[in-house]
Amino acid sequence: MDMVNRYRRLRTSQTLRKMVRETRIDKSSLVYPAFVAEGIREKEEIPSMPGQYRHTIDSMLRLTEELLEKGVSKMVLFGIPLEKDEYGCQAYAQNGIVQQTMHEIKRRLPEMYLIGDVCMCEYTSHGHCGILDGQYVDNDKTLTYLAKTAVSQAQAGADMVAPSDMMDGRVAAIRQALDENGLQLTPIMSYAVKYASAFYGPFRDAADSAPAFGDRKTYQMDYHNVREGVKEALADIEEGADIIMVKPAMAFGDVIARVKEVTNVPMAAYSVSGEYSMVKAAARQGWIDEDRIVCEMAASCFRAGADIYLSYYAPELARFIDEGAIG
Ligand code: PBG
């Protein structure tokens, strides 16, 4: 057969396949999301997320050490307070569980880069991401509390803050508050393009943060939309976001690609709790090859344009990169 182009020529060996690879993945892009809970004596496994835990400060320190050993040097922290109230006071309390944890990690293991998730839903009695006015989440009133939360986290040791609430104007409000407190160099990674998604189900279980009434559709985005995602991303960059995020990751690859095309700041993709739990459940049934699925999911995000990848599988991915299974 007379053929000039034989595409299989570049697929004949692993060496060659790796040489011509279009997407390179590095451990420095990985971020591990972790939960710390107040008022527990020992870490508790999250029933809907096997292998993931609600940590105590002590178990979080051990986990931090393990992550660093594996080459995962970034974490995003979520807090689960003992007391929840209408104003989410524990989100911005100086001795809040996240603030205490950050302080301890920074004191003992300063090499860990700490990102604080800034939101109210884990801290409010009603489970919404802001302050209520009747049944409606009051956007502008919420901004004050988000700004306080971001400042308190940065003062406790957060290297970066990551607002995930989806209120309008929150990046500007947080930037201003950080600057006023001498925290000009604390970057903001904005959950800029965050959809109202059933993929967050297990997280809400983990953080006991499901809304007591209604849903999050008046602030999180409608998953039918992609141009709106572009609008959100551009607006957040204008307000001062240093990094933008698309969330969830799986089922939103087109959004990652579209946002990447029109922006010029680093972009993160968050493979959320439901993605983790689905893979775990199917793997436990023996229906899929967990390791290979995890690699494919991660690679798809980087291929779509993500520079940073948040995943509950970050430690495993670090190992897969070391072993050459991905990277
Ligand atoms: C807080 C927040 C959520 C997640 C990250 N930050 C929950 C939500 O919006 O309901 C979800 C992360 C995950 O599912 O892994 N607002």
Q: Output the CA–CA distances (angstroms, integers) from residue 37 to 16, 76, 97, 254, in the order listed.
A: 47, 14, 7, 35
Compute, in angstroms, the gap from residue 210 CA to the centroid of ligand 1.
Answer: 10
Residue 176 confidence class, pLDDT cut points 50, 70, 90:
very high
Determine which residue's CA is closest to atom 2 belonging to ligand 1.
Answer: 164
Tokens 């991905």 belong to residue: 326
DSSP class per residue in 23-53: ----GGGEEEEEEEETT-SS-EE-TTSTT-E
> Which position has the token pair 């604390």?
186
Mean pLDDT of all residues in 29-45: 98
Confidence of residue 240 (pLDDT cuts 50, 70, 90): very high
Report which ligand 1 atom has the smallest distance to the Cα of 194.
9
Alpha helices, H only, the chain = 14-19, 57-70, 97-108, 139-156, 170-180, 201-207, 227-239, 253-262, 273-284, 290-304, 314-323
Rounded distance from Cα 147 to ligand 1 centre (Å): 18
**Dihedral angle computed from the Cα positions of residues 66, 187, 165 and 32, in that order, rounded to the nearest 10 degrees:** -10
Atom nearest to 271 CA in ligand 1: 15
- Strand 113-118 to 136-137 pairing: unpaired
Kindly report the pTM of this predicted structure: 0.97
- Please check the confidence at residue 161 and state whether its pLDDT lies above 90: yes
At residue 312, the pLDDT reads 98
Residue positions annotated with a catalytic role: 194, 247
Distance 274 CA to ligand 1 centre (A): 10
Q: Using a 6 Å CB cutoff, which residues line ligand 1?
A: 117, 119, 121, 129, 164, 200, 203-204, 272-273
Supply the pLDDT for residue 241.
98
Say how many Å lie between the CA of residue 215 and the centre of ligand 1: 13
CA-proximal residue: ligand 1, atom 10 (nearest): 200
Which residue minimizes the CA distance to atom 5 of ligand 1?
Answer: 164
Q: What's phi and psi for 41, nearest 5 deg?
A: -90, -35
Q: Considering only CA atoms, which residue is closest to atom 8 of ligand 1?
A: 200
Residue with tokens 């029109």: 262
Rounded to whole angstroms, how far apart are CA atoms 257 and 104? Answer: 38
In the reported structure, the alpha carbon of residue 119 is separated from the centroid of ligand 1 by a whole-number distance in angstroms of 9
**CA distance linking residue 258 with residue 193, whole number of Å:** 11
pLDDT of 208 = 87
Quote the pLDDT of residue 45: 97
pLDDT, tens only, 68-97: 999 999 999 999 999 999 999 999 999 999
Reported as a pLDDT band with limits 50, 70 and 90, residue 212 is very high
Q: What is the mean pLDDT of the chain?
A: 97
Residue (of 206, 317, 297, 311) closest to 252 by Cα position: 297
Kindly state the percentage of the chain with pLDDT values over 90: 99
Q: Is the pLDDT of residue 189 over 90?
A: yes
Is the confidence at residue 194, as pLDDT, over 90?
yes
Residue of 153, 197, 203, 272 to test ligand 1 pocket, by largest number of atoms within 8 Å of CB: 203
Which ligand 1 atom minimizes the distance to the CA of 122? 1
Of 164, 167, 204, 309, the one to substitute when testing ligand 1's pocket (max ligand atoms within 8 A of C-beta) is: 164
Compute, in angstroms, the gap from residue 18 CA to the centroid of ligand 1: 35
pLDDT at residue 105 above 90?
yes
* Nearest protein Cα to ligand 1, atom 6: 164
Supply angle C-alpha 292, 162, 30, rounded to 5: 25
pLDDT of residue 217: 96
pLDDT at 187: 98
